[in-house]
Amino acid sequence: MGGARPQQGFGGVGGPGPGCVSGGAASGEAGDAAGDGVARPGFPALSRAYGGAGAHAASPAELRDAVGKALTTPGPTVIEVPEPPG
Asked if residue 47 belongs to a domain, the reply is yes
Range of the structural domain that residue 38 is part of: 24-80
What does the radius of gyration of the chain's CA atoms come to, in whole angstroms? Answer: 14
* Phi, psi at 79, each rounded to 5°: -115, 115
Interatomic CA distance for residues 34 and 7, integer angstroms: 21
Q: For residue range 9-49, what is the model confidence (pLDDT) as tens digits?
A: 334 344 333 333 334 444 445 566 666 777 777 899 999 99
Mean pLDDT of 50-61: 94
Q: CA 58, 49, 75 angle in degrees (round to 5)?
A: 75
pTM reported for the whole predicted model:
0.56
Asked if residue 7 belongs to a domain, the reply is no
How many domains does the structure of the chain reveal? 1
Interatomic CA distance for residues 15 and 27, integer angstroms: 21
Asked if residue 12 belongs to a domain, the reply is no
* Residues recorded for the chain: 86
Asked if residue 29 belongs to a domain, the reply is yes
